[in-house]
Amino acid sequence: MLAGWFARRYFFSKKSHSVINLIAGVSVVSVAVPVAAMIVLLSVFNGFEQLVRSMNSHFDADLTLTPREGQTFGIESLDTAALRRLPGVEAVSLALEQSALMEYRGRQAMVTVRGVADGYDRVVPVAECITAGDYAVRLGDLDRLVVGRGVAYELGLRSLGESDGVLYALRRTGFSSLLPVEGYTRRQAEVAGVFAADAQTDGRYLFTSLRLAQELFSYPDRASAAVVRVARGARPAEVKRRVAEAAGGAFEVRTRDELNASFYTIMQYEKWGIFLISLLVLVIASFSIVGTVVMLVLDKRPEFVALGAMGADTRFVRRIFFFEGGLIGALGAGAGVVLGVGLCLVQQHFGVIEIPADSFLVKSYPVLLRGGDVAAVVAAFAVVVGAMTAVTVRRAVSADDMAAGRTAQ
């Protein structure tokens, strides 16, 4: 397009080198930096989201079945053998989860006890989170405890095998204020291991056998959830539908993401909130392009006479300077994308920038680059620059300017 050719000549021609060209170069840099920053920020949010999802995968199952009414269900009411035979189902287990009080060597803490059946570690890879001891909620006929790192810290648990932990739960059959001790069920078990998933989970949960949990909470032959592991390569949505049909209407089936839907939604809101705030910075940086276009119009205004003599009208001249602003924005966006993507890839593969905290689960900032985020940044930038340049050019180049040029001719 002829207008685009004029714009490139104004920007790259050796005879047109001036302070305006230097300012145009500065404008390229001024928009490249916020574009790169937006890409890096969105990629860091993606990295933390992926980190949270990976931690949840070590604590929550692919599919979780819970009763629609009440907190527990009779184990005999759910045919777990039929669930295991379903296509796409790799493993099935049961769990009973309730709150209790744990005492260890005179120190107490409120915990959430998750009693799990044999084979639970084949559904949820809890064993991969063990930091001390081992994952063994049962050793023969002995019930054992596996506590979160936060719980261990609160109770002062420094080494395993020192003494047993004691769990207390309110007796469901009734509580008497005259004999409060009789109103609690008490169970004692050895602490066999410590796990670490995330701060919220570590400070609340402990694992034990399903048998001990049923005795502690007075729920014989009952569970609060059935958990399912989806086979590799199977479609989770399809497996969820089959499991729901096999379980019946008395159970609700949810995926891991659905269990933590509110948390992931909040993370998405935070991510795009940061995107909008960064976009405001980008809008401010784009004013440098506006200033460059205005100065270029003033510098080239004497040439309007020649352009008018060649038959150029107001729309054509406006397109020249619109393409000029677009060219500056494209160079800045391209440089920003290259810089942002390069920084993200270096951090993603080499972890150059580390987190200054020894207790965090990862040593370096997690980064995950997604093409959709890069496209969103480029599209938002194109809209901003296009709108601001169009308004600027319309006001800077008027029909009166071209008329004055023709009169002068």
Among residues 34, 51, 86, which one has the least CA distance to residue 65?
Answer: 86
236 occurs within a structural domain? no
Instruction: State how far the Cα of 127 lies from the Cα of 197, in Å rounded to an integer.
Output: 11
Q: Are residues 292 and 193 in the same domain?
A: no
Q: Are residues 286 and 377 in the same domain?
A: yes
CB 116 within 8 A of CB 209: yes
pLDDT for position 173: 63
232 occurs within a structural domain? no
Q: Which residue range is the domain that position 337 belongs to?
A: 2-56+263-408
118 occurs within a structural domain? yes
pLDDT digits (tens, 9 = 90+) for 71-122: 999 999 999 999 999 999 999 999 999 999 999 988 999 999 999 998 999 9
Q: Which of 256, 273, 294 is the last residue of a domain?
A: 256
**Number of domains the chain is built from:** 2
Helical segments of 208-313, H only: 210-216, 236-247, 256-259, 261-300, 304-309
CB 133 within 8 A of CB 160: yes
Q: Could you give the percent of the chain with pLDDT greater than 90?
A: 52
Taking CA atoms, 231 is separated from 84, 228, 280, 310, 392, in Å, by 11, 9, 45, 72, 58
At 338, the pLDDT band (50, 70, 90 cuts) reads: very high
Q: Are residues 161 and 39 in the same domain?
A: no
Mean pLDDT score of the chain: 86
Q: Which of 256, 271, 302 is the last residue of a domain?
A: 256
Instruction: State how far the Cα of 95 lies from the Cα of 114, in Å rounded to an integer.
Output: 6
Q: Are residues 104 and 34 in the same domain?
A: no
Q: Are residues 210 and 69 in the same domain?
A: yes
Whether the per-residue pLDDT at 266 is higher than 50: the answer is: yes
Q: Where are the beta strands (DSSP E) in 105-161?
A: 107-116, 130-133, 138-139, 142-148
Query: Which residue is associated with the tokens 């496209």?
Result: 375
Q: Which of 240, 256, 272 is the last residue of a domain?
A: 256
36 occurs within a structural domain? yes
Q: Are residues 30 and 142 in the same domain?
A: no
Instruction: State how far the Cα of 407 lies from the Cα of 305, in Å rounded to an integer.
Output: 9
- The contacts of residue 338 (CB under 8 Å, 6+ apart) are none
Q: Are residues 276 and 211 in the same domain?
A: no
Report the half-sphere exposure of 42 (CA within 13 A, side-chain side). 26
Report the half-sphere exposure of 185 (CA within 13 A, side-chain side). 16
Whether the per-residue pLDDT at 304 is higher than 60: the answer is: yes
85 occurs within a structural domain? no
Instruction: State how far the Cα of 42 lies from the Cα of 351, in Å rounded to an integer.
Output: 17
3-class secondary structure for 229-244? Answer: EECCCCCHHHHHHHHH
Q: Are residues 49 and 136 in the same domain?
A: no
245 occurs within a structural domain? no
Q: Are residues 207 and 71 in the same domain?
A: yes
At 409, the pLDDT band (50, 70, 90 cuts) reads: very low
H and E: helices and strands count for the chain: 14, 13
At 408, the pLDDT band (50, 70, 90 cuts) reads: very low
Give the three-class secondary structure for 361: coil
Q: Are residues 392 and 268 in the same domain?
A: yes
pLDDT digits (tens, 9 = 90+) for 42-53: 999 999 888 888
Q: Is the pTM of this model over 0.85?
A: no
Report strand pairing: 184-195 vs 142-148: parallel
241 occurs within a structural domain? no
CB 109 within 8 A of CB 238: no
pLDDT for position 323: 81
287 occurs within a structural domain? yes
Whether the per-residue pLDDT at 221 is higher than 80: the answer is: yes
Q: Are residues 74 and 182 in the same domain?
A: yes
Query: Which residue is associated with the tokens 């969105």?
Result: 42
Q: Return the bridge partners of 115, or none.
A: 96, 208
Q: Are residues 49 and 68 in the same domain?
A: no
